[in-house]
Amino acid sequence: MLNPYELLKELTRLHGGSGDEDAVRDRLTEVIRPFVDELHTDATGNLIAFKKGTGSGPRVMLSAHMDEVSLMITHIADMGLLRFRTVGGIDPRILIGKRVLVGPDRLPGVIGTKPIHLQTAADRKNATKLKDLRIDIGANDKTQAENLVKLGDRAVFDYEPVEFGDNKLMAKGLDDRAGCAVLAWLLQERYTFDVYGCFTVQEEIGLRGAKTASFAVMPDYAIILEGTTCYDVPDTKEHLMSTWLGKGPALTIMDRAVISNRPLVDFIVETARQNGIPYQFKQTLSGGTDAGRIQGSGEGVKVATMAVPCRYIHTPVSVLDRGDFDAMRRLASATLKRLPELFGRT
Amino acid sequence: MELNDSLKVLCGLSAVTGREKGAASQIAALFEPLCDEVRTDAFGNVYASCRGEGRNPRTVLVTAHYDEIGLVVTGIEDSGFLRFAAMGGIDAKTLPAQEFTVFGREPLYGVIGAKPPHLVSAEEMEKVIPIDDLRIDIGYSGDEAKKRVRVGDVVGFRFPVIEMKNNRMASNAMDNRSGVAALLETLRLLKGLRHDDHVVVAATVQEELGLRGAVAAAFSTAPDLGIVVDVCHADMPDAPPDDQFPLGKGVAIAIGPIVHPARTKEVIELAKRERIPYQLDPEPGDTGTEAAALQVAREGIPTILLSIPCRYMHSTVETISLDDVRGTAQLAARFIAAGPWKEKEGGTTC
Amino acid sequence: MNDSNFVEMIASIAQAFGPSGNERNVREVIEPMLSGCVDEVRVDALGNLIAVKKGAGKKIMLAAHMDEIGVLVTFIDEKGFLRFGNVGGVSPFISVGMRVIFENGTVGTVWYEEKMDSMKELKLDRMFIDIGAVSREEAETMVCVGDMAVFCGEAVETNGRIISKALDDRAGCAALVALARMMPETENEVYYVFTVQEEVGLRGARTAAWGIMPDMALAVDVTDVGDMPESHHMAVSIGKGPTIKIKDSSIVCHPDVVSRLRSCAEKAEIPFQYEVLTAGGTDAGSIHLTAGGIPTGAVSIPTRFLHSPSEMISVEDLKGVVNLLAAFIQAGEESQEEDLSSGQDGEDTNDAGEN
């Protein structure tokens, strides 16, 4: 049996900016190949696994995205410093003082800032803009930098996972390697219905991979496994916290991309109650997941999203609670096992 | 140990300003094989002395501070998050999404997060998040956190050393562990050079709080010459050009009211003669370095200031060139060995 | 000393006139209180009052400052109004409508130029003192340019608390006096130092420390609290015991002194709080930088409404200060070493900082 938590840690160490998910896909391919009946990578880069059911029933798609937020080199400036843009949503204010790896050779680099000693009063008040940030790889000058880095090269965060506090895990890319790890683990089981396990690409730049994956699969039901926003920190109004760490996986009723299929959500809640698994509802309506794309495929798909709350997502230091991760795995598994009951109802 | 290795070891130590003691023994251990005697004073200043071979030896004090900026816990919230204040000149911009070690009853991992961009308004994104609005997350509930952390515990940055192209290295503690590395290298070079004068090399504390360690060091060693090694601002695209000393182009030698004019002239001449790359660093004010404290310590100590160019000072990615560290040490060691001030003593007016 | 004597003693010290540089009256109140309790009393060139209880052990310096904030007359206009500057940290907003008193007993009211668009513009140089004089000549018979005055604020006891002017730092002075009068048994040589000119830059303590060259020192002063409605954040409350200072802007207290204080408080079961003060300094700041450096710490009295004529402290907190100081000067070396080896301050645990 897979150890889902160890797999999670391993996956967060891999780098996979949107459109550049190869390392994650290669590892996941190795991991799930023994459990699945068919496996292929589609034209956009989604990894799609098929697992034949033991009986008949609707097609169920399970989906998690492989990509993470990253940076792209857009200009090689004077002094050999690199200008860049973000690939996916990153608050430029969190980039100062971070370590990154640039390009296919993973050159170590850092993002600096004008020292506090040289800042004006306005500098101290106003946030640094993305256009004023640079990656420094130690190049002597522009020419040397041009030999080391190409425009379009990716820069990824260079952060190792750390276990700390009361059952907490800090890692980059928990959004959505947490979903990937759970999905890989779920594929070990055989279900009565056909299951398509889709590890999608390019979620962070507009839910792009899921569009082609769901078109190919044309599922009846889809459950999206995610890492979601959580901001349960002091001085935040409770209704703006989105989710709480340690209160179980979060179910989405509605976000900017989808209104979940209510019967499916209710069924998941029922499952959680029956099994004594904690769950919560995501409170904010911001963001969107692959569920939006999948729901709109073909004649429409019944979707629900289940997510591990992650503090500080879209930074290199996101944090989850291992209890939540474990609860999401158990809830997803329990739901799938009794999913045929739901087919009967509808 | 190679210079880059010793710098890595030095950068790995945690010595938040005012609470440096834990690092003192490790710095003493690095000094030990390179000198005649090592001692640590009540504040944590670490002194390494090498006896001079001359008949009337004087004392040269070479200082580099080893404290670093950090944070101090000011409150533990019921939710388990920690409130904090700055120890030294912390730039609030450098704190979000950063890792820390909280020196509680036991060292604890902590992280300062950031609101996910999905929840940040465009207006908010324009503003720097003030320190008062940030919290350290140690992953414990309020009760558990209170068992492990006390108000007053210090917090250090947790950031590995990054090795980059062209012998450049980045760390949160280059200000001023690169200076301490230069002290080590100076001691190593002095072993191969004859020097008439006693040399006391001091890794000092509490510089970031106002040069406090150097005050004690200057008093207790009563030197005849002071050499201060610290960092200065390297070249950066958005910094004023007169505050930029390019990385890798050599040690910056300060010129100005707080350094001794004759000694400074001599060290510049020496650099030229020995072909040690250097840059001139005009300093109209007090520099904010330990040179300012040494100059007016006791009855006055003739002092020179050698600076290692450093990019992004007071951030987690302070970046230096190892070549500059090596050059700084060469210049300091040769200057001590040459002892030019003695021959000229009669003729110099200053 | 019973409670009412204790309160009376605090009040009499607090009410003495003593802006920075003019601490003579305070000294004259304190000095007789020490008679018979110490071996030697001297006054140094700056006016610090230094009382010594001899001993063969370590030299321990305890410092509380005698001076208080006040105002200094800079100009007298033709109508007899006084213009003034600050002696120490005087807030214009707190000063409006307050009474000030000069050493000779002249009293005046502080007011401001009413032609002002917004109170935000209120600065001391737009304020004046009215002593009832109708002309410059008349005013000059009462006060001179250069005279100092202090804010009036009588001492009141209310529900275990004292409200008075100048509890900063007469409360600290009272703690030292009470301690000296307890005549605690100790091997150590104890210096009870009542310093001058703290409010204008920790000046008296500097020369006092140089003269004494103690092995260890403590400043005893007041500190801010964070327990009032919508206070700025500070984990110190009134009534929860003395504070052991970790840092302020003048010092990061020596870890050995901090741990000695902590173990003394724990052994004597004195409730205490840790103090991290982000702005402001104490005598400890200048003491610890004396000569080659002196291990120094500070014990503080949580005080509300600092630098106002109505500063408030808790009598219990002040008793806690006295007891903590007594334990501190009586502690032997072993209590300190024991704490050092425990490594609980995190100073000996650097590995975690590595990565």
DSSP annotation string for B224-275? SEEEEEEEEE---TTS-GGG---TTS-EEEEESTTS-HHHHHHHHHHHHHTT
Nearest to A113 by CA among B169, B245, B318: B318
Which residues of A does the annotation mark as catalytic? Answer: 203
B340 versus A221: the higher-pLDDT residue is A221
- The pLDDT of residue C334: 54
Confidence of residue B241 (pLDDT cuts 50, 70, 90): confident
Our CA angle for C354, B321, A124, nearest 5°, is 75
- The pLDDT of residue A231: 83
Instruction: Dump pLDDT digits (tens) for C212-228.
Output: 999 999 999 999 999 99
With a CB-CB cutoff of 8 Å, which residues 114-153 of chain C face chain B? none
Is A110 within 8 Å of B94 when comparing Cβ atoms? Answer: no
Cα distance between residue A165 and residue B109, in whole Å: 7
The yes-or-no verdict on residue B112 having pLDDT over 50 is yes
Q: Which chains touch A (3 or more CB pairs under 8 A)?
A: B
Instruction: Dump pLDDT digits (tens) for C111-123.
Output: 999 988 888 899 9
Write the residue in C252, C291, C352 that is nearest to B107 by C-beta: C352
Nearest CA in chain B to A231: B115
Chain A within 8 Å of B142 (Cβ-Cβ)? no
With a CB-CB cutoff of 8 Å, which residues 245-284 of chain B face chain C? none
Domain boundaries, chain B: 3-68+172-343, 70-157
Torsion of CA C241, C242, C243, C249, to 10 degrees: 140
Q: What is the ipTM metric for this complex?
A: 0.85
The yes-or-no verdict on residue C339 having pLDDT over 50 is no
| Mean pLDDT, rounded, for B229-237 | 93
| Mean pLDDT, rounded, for B2-8 | 95
| Mean pLDDT, rounded, for B144-160 | 96
Domain boundaries, chain C: 3-68+165-342, 70-151
Nearest CA in chain B to C348: B22
- The pLDDT of residue C342: 36
Chain A within 8 Å of B165 (Cβ-Cβ)? yes
Instruction: Dump pLDDT digits (tens) for C231-240.
Output: 888 999 999 9
Using an 8 Å CB-CB cutoff, list chain B residues near C273.
151
Instruction: Dump pLDDT digits (tens) for C166-198.
Output: 999 999 999 999 999 999 999 999 999 999 999
Picking from B87, B136, B149, B165 by the largest number of A CB atoms within 10 A of its own CB, the best residue to mutate is: B165
- The pLDDT of residue C341: 35
Q: Which chains touch C (3 or more CB pairs under 8 A)?
A: B
Is C289 within 8 Å of B216 when comparing Cβ atoms? Answer: yes
CATH label, B3-68+172-343, candidates 3.40.630.10, 2.30.110.10, 3.40.50.620, 3.40.50.1000: 3.40.630.10
In sequence order, the β-bridge partners of residue B280 are: B253
First to last CA, chain B: 41
Is A137 within 8 Å of B115 when comparing Cβ atoms? Answer: no
Confidence of residue A78 (pLDDT cuts 50, 70, 90): confident
The answer to whether C161 touches C315, Cβ cutoff 8 Å, is yes
Q: Does domain A71-157 match CATH 2.40.30.40?
A: yes
The yes-or-no verdict on residue A154 having pLDDT over 60 is yes
Tokens for A255, please give them.
Answer: 């976000």
Instruction: Give me the count of residues in chain B.
Output: 350
Using an 8 Å CB-CB cutoff, list chain C residues near B152.
246-247, 258, 274-276
Chain A within 8 Å of B141 (Cβ-Cβ)? yes
Nearest CA in chain A to B167: A138
Cα distance between residue B200 and residue A139, in whole Å: 36
Single out the catalytic residue among C23, C198, C199, C275: C198
Q: What percent of chain C has pLDDT over 90?
A: 83
Half-sphere exposure of C339 (CA within 13 A, CB side): 19
The yes-or-no verdict on residue C335 having pLDDT over 70 is no
- The pLDDT of residue C13: 98
Is A136 within 8 Å of B311 when comparing Cβ atoms? Answer: yes
Confidence of residue A165 (pLDDT cuts 50, 70, 90): very high
- The pLDDT of residue A296: 82
| Mean pLDDT, rounded, for A300-328 | 95
With a CB-CB cutoff of 8 Å, which residues 296-315 of chain B face chain A? 311-315
Write the residue in B14, B17, B216 that is nearest to C353 by C-beta: B14
Instruction: Dump pLDDT digits (tens) for C30-78.
Output: 999 999 999 999 999 889 999 999 999 999 999 999 999 999 998 999 9
Write the residue in B15, B19, B85 that is nearest to C276 by C-beta: B85
The answer to whether B233 touches B243, Cβ cutoff 8 Å, is yes
- The pLDDT of residue B284: 86
Write the residue in C246, C289, C350 that is nearest to B22 by C-beta: C350
The yes-or-no verdict on residue C140 having pLDDT over 80 is yes
Confidence of residue C344 (pLDDT cuts 50, 70, 90): very low
Nearest to A71 by CA among A145, A135, A146: A135
What fold characterizes domain A4-68+172-345?
Answer: Aminopeptidase (3.40.630)
| Mean pLDDT, rounded, for B316-322 | 97
Cα distance between residue B299 and residue B315, in whole Å: 36
| Mean pLDDT, rounded, for A301-317 | 94
CATH 3.40.630.10 residue spans of chain A: 4-68+172-345
The yes-or-no verdict on residue C340 having pLDDT over 60 is no
Our CA angle for A152, A155, A158, nearest 5°, is 170
- The pLDDT of residue C333: 65
- The pLDDT of residue B285: 86
Chain B within 8 Å of C293 (Cβ-Cβ)? yes
Write the residue in B81, B126, B239 that is nearest to A126 by C-beta: B126
Instruction: Dump pLDDT digits (tens) for B160-201.
Output: 999 999 999 999 999 999 999 999 999 999 999 999 999 999
- The pLDDT of residue A153: 94
- The pLDDT of residue A295: 85
Averaged confidence pLDDT in chain B: 93
Is B311 within 8 Å of A98 when comparing Cβ atoms? Answer: no
Q: For C263, left (φ over 0), alpha (ψ -120 to 50), or beta?
A: alpha
- The pLDDT of residue C1: 65
Nearest CA in chain B to A309: B116
Chain C within 8 Å of B296 (Cβ-Cβ)? no
DSSP E strands in A114-255: the ranges are 135-136, 154-157, 162-164, 168-171, 195-200, 221-230, 250-251
Residue C2 carries which side chain, given as an amino acid letter?
Answer: N
- The pLDDT of residue C191: 98
| Mean pLDDT, rounded, for A206-227 | 91
Instruction: Dump pLDDT digits (tens) for C236-271.
Output: 999 999 999 999 999 999 999 999 999 999 999 999
Confidence of residue B342 (pLDDT cuts 50, 70, 90): low
Chain A within 8 Å of B130 (Cβ-Cβ)? no
Distance from A117 to chain B by nearest Cα, in Å? Answer: 8
Nearest CA in chain A to B133: A235
What fold characterizes domain B70-157?
Answer: Elongation Factor Tu (Ef-tu); domain 3 (2.40.30)
Is A113 within 8 Å of B166 when comparing Cβ atoms? Answer: no
> Quick one: C70-151 is in which CATH superfamily?
Peptidase M42, domain 2 (2.40.30.40)
Chain B within 8 Å of C354 (Cβ-Cβ)? yes
Using an 8 Å CB-CB cutoff, list chain C residues near B215.
289, 293
Q: Which residue has the tokens 């760390």?
A: B171
Instruction: Dump pLDDT digits (tens) for A54-70.
Output: 988 899 999 999 999 99
CATH 2.40.30.40 residue spans of chain A: 71-157
Instruction: Dump pLDDT digits (tens) for A82-119.
Output: 999 999 999 999 999 999 999 999 999 999 999 999 99
* A-B Cβ pairs (cutoff 8 Å, strict): 209
Question: In chain A, which ranges are continuous DSSP H helix?
Answer: 4-13, 22-32, 121-125, 142-148, 174-186, 208-217, 262-275, 290-295, 322-345
Using an 8 Å CB-CB cutoff, list chain B residues near A113.
91, 93-94, 312, 315
Instruction: Dump pLDDT digits (tens) for B8-47.
Output: 999 999 999 999 988 999 999 999 999 999 999 989 999 9
Tokens for C275, please give them.
Answer: 């103090």
Domain C3-68+165-342 sits in CATH at 3.40.630.10
| Mean pLDDT, rounded, for C285-313 | 95
Using an 8 Å CB-CB cutoff, list chain B residues near C346.
19, 22, 103-107, 153-154
The yes-or-no verdict on residue A230 having pLDDT over 60 is yes
Nearest CA in chain B to A120: B239
Write the residue in C234, C273, C348 that is nearest to B22 by C-beta: C348
The count of other CB atoms within 10 Å of the CB of residue A3 is 11
Nearest CA in chain C to B212: C289
